[in-house]
Amino acid sequence: MKLSLLFTKTSKTVPSDETARNAQLLIQAGYIHKEMAGVYAYTPLGLQVLENIKQIVREEMNAIGGQEVMMTALQPRELWEKTDRWDDKKVDNWFKTKLANGSELGVGLTHEEPIVDLLSNYVNSYKDLPIFVYQIQTKFRNELRAKSGLLRGREFIMKDMYSLARTQEEHEDLYEKAVAAYYRVYERLGLGDVTVRTYADGGIFTPRFSDEFQTLSTIGEDTIFVDEEKKVAINQEIMSDESLQKLGLNKDKLVEKHAIEVGNTFHLETKYTDALDVYYDDEKGQRQSIIMGCYGIGVSRLMGVIAEHFADENGLVWPTSVAPAQVIICRMGTEVEVVKKAEELYGALQEQKIGVIYDDRDARPGEKFGDADLLGIPYRVIVGKKTLETSVYEVKVRSSGEISELSLDSLIQLLRSENS
C-alpha cells in the first residue's frame, strides 16, 4: 500500500466530540470515521486491523472444533416470545423494527434463539452432538449512553459462539476448552498478561456465575477484585461473602482494579433448547435435553482496547499480530536513485509476504516520521541518500524507540521472525 494512493489522511487535530483516547487516535490516524455516537465506519487501514483480530479469533475457535456460520441480523418476534425474551422488560436494549406488513422484528443483539432454531434442522440423535458453532457479525445495541469510542457502541463487531452438549460433563469440558481458547486469543493479541478471568453475574443468560475476561485498565468502567496468586477475579457486582465462599476466594487476598470487559462466557443449561422444543435421542432412543453454553468476544471493542492500551504520547502502537502492516518505509527525498532504492525495498518485502506501507509522498521528514508514529506501524525503515552510500537501512522499533542499522537480508530475517 502506497500512502500517496490512500484516500485517508492523518490529522493533528484532536476530535472535539471524542473524549476517549482510542477514538481520538483512531480518527486522527485515519482508521475510523465517526458516523454518530457509538457508530463508526472503518477505513482500509482500520478494516485491516479489524480483520487481523477476526482472524486470530477465528483460528482459535476453529482449533477447538468451531464451525463458522453467518446468521441474519433480522430476527422474528415469534422466536423470542417462545423463550420469553421479547418483552423490553426482559431485554431492554434492543433495536426493533417492523416490516411493511406490520410484523415486528428484532435487530441482532444476541443469537441464542436463532442458532437453536437453525440447528433444530440438523440435531436429532446423540450422534449429532457435541457441536461448537460461531459467527463473527455486526451486532446492534440500543445503548442509552454510547461512549468511550469503540469500547461501548450501538453498532459493533462481535464473535458469538454456542456449544450444544449431551451431558453436563460434556458441556463442562466444552466450556473449559472455550475458556482456554480465549486465553490464547488474548495472548496472541498482546493482552495476555493484563487479561484475567472474572466471575460475574449471568444476567439475562443464566442463574449461574458467568465468566468475564477483563483487561486491566485505568480507564475501565468495571471494578473487579483480583486474586493475583490464583489469576482470577470477581466482579464488584457479585461481591459478597456468599459469592466468595462459593468461589473459594479469600477477601483479604483480593486487589481492587479497574478493567474493560473484552469477552464473556455463559452456562445456558437447557433454557433455550427446551423452550424451542429441540432435543436429541440417546443410545436407547429416549428423548434428552441439550445443554448449551455461549461465548462472546467483542472484536471491535478489542480494537479499541488495544489502541488505547499500547498508545503513547506520539500515537498508536500496534502489536505485530494486529497491525495493518508490519513495516512502513519512509522515503527521504525524490532523487531518482533514492526512489529506485525505496521501490526495490517495497517490492522485496512484498515478495516475502511481509505487510508493508510505503510512504512515497513528497513530504518533509518530520511529517513522515510523525505520521509513522501516529499510525503505529511496528517497524519504520528509512530509505535516503545514506542508504545508497552504506547499503544498510535505519530501522526503528515503534514500541521501544530502539534504532538499528540492518542490511536487506537482516531486515527481512527480523521481520519474518517477528511474523512467525
Question: Is 100 within the bounds of a domain?
Answer: yes
Map grid coordinates 440417546 to a residue.
Answer: 282
Residues 114 and 178 in one domain: yes
Considering its fold, how many domains does the chain have in total?
2
User: Which residue(s) pair with 13 in the sheet?
Assistant: none
Distance between CA atoms of residues 353 and 124, nearest Å:
46
Q: Which of 84, 81, 86, 110 is nearest to 96 (CA)?
A: 86
Sign of CA dihedral 257, 214, 219, 313: positive
Question: Is 318 within the bounds of a domain?
Answer: no
Q: DSSP letter at 192? A: G
Q: What is the largest CA-CA distance in the chain?
A: 81
Residues 306 and 334 in one domain: no
What is the full DSSP assignment across 24-42? HHHHHTTSEEEEETTEEEE
Cα distances (angstroms) measured from residue 327 to each of 79, 309, 319? 49, 20, 12
Domain range enclosing 55: 7-310
| 0.85 exceeded by pTM | yes
Confidence (pLDDT) at 204: 60
Question: Is 181 within the bounds of a domain?
Answer: yes
Neighbours of 249 (CB within 10 A): 20
Residues 291 and 353 in one domain: no
State the CATH number of the domain containing residue 258.
3.30.930.10
Upper half-sphere CA count for residue 7 (Cβ side, 13 Å): 6
Question: Is 31 within the bounds of a domain?
Answer: yes
Confidence (pLDDT) at 224: 96
Q: DSSP letter at 139? A: E
For residue 130, is the peptide bond before it cis, meaning its omega torsion is within 30 degrees of 0? yes
Residues 306 and 398 in one domain: no
Confidence (pLDDT) at 96: 92
Reading the chain (420 residues) residue by residue, the pLDDT tens digits are 899 999 999 999 999 999 999 999 999 999 999 999 999 999 999 999 999 999 999 999 999 999 999 999 999 999 999 999 898 888 778 899 999 999 999 999 899 999 999 999 999 999 999 999 999 999 999 887 888 899 989 999 999 999 999 999 999 999 999 999 999 999 999 999 999 999 998 766 567 889 999 999 998 889 999 999 999 999 999 999 999 999 999 999 999 999 999 999 999 999 999 999 999 999 999 999 999 999 999 999 999 999 999 999 999 999 999 999 999 999 999 999 999 999 999 999 999 999 999 999 999 999 999 999 999 999 999 999 999 999 899 999 999 999 999 999 999 999 998 876
Amino acid at 201: D
Helix (H) and strand (E) counts in the chain: 12, 21
Distance between CA atoms of residues 8 and 10, nearest Å:
7
Confidence (pLDDT) at 203: 67
Alpha-carbon 172 to chain mean position: 25
Confidence (pLDDT) at 92: 73
Residues 117 and 255 in one domain: yes
Confidence (pLDDT) at 143: 83
Confidence (pLDDT) at 201: 85
DSSP H stretches of helix in 210-298: 241-247, 271-275
Confidence (pLDDT) at 206: 64
Residues 304 and 331 in one domain: no
Upper half-sphere CA count for residue 208 (Cβ side, 13 Å): 14
State the CATH number of the domain containing residue 413.
3.40.50.800
Distance between CA atoms of residues 31 and 10, nearest Å:
9
Q: Which residues contact 188 (CB under 8 A, 6 or more apart)?
A: 56, 60, 321
Of 263, 283, 310, the residue that ends a domain is 310
- At CA 96, angle to CA 41 and CA 294, rounded to 5? 75
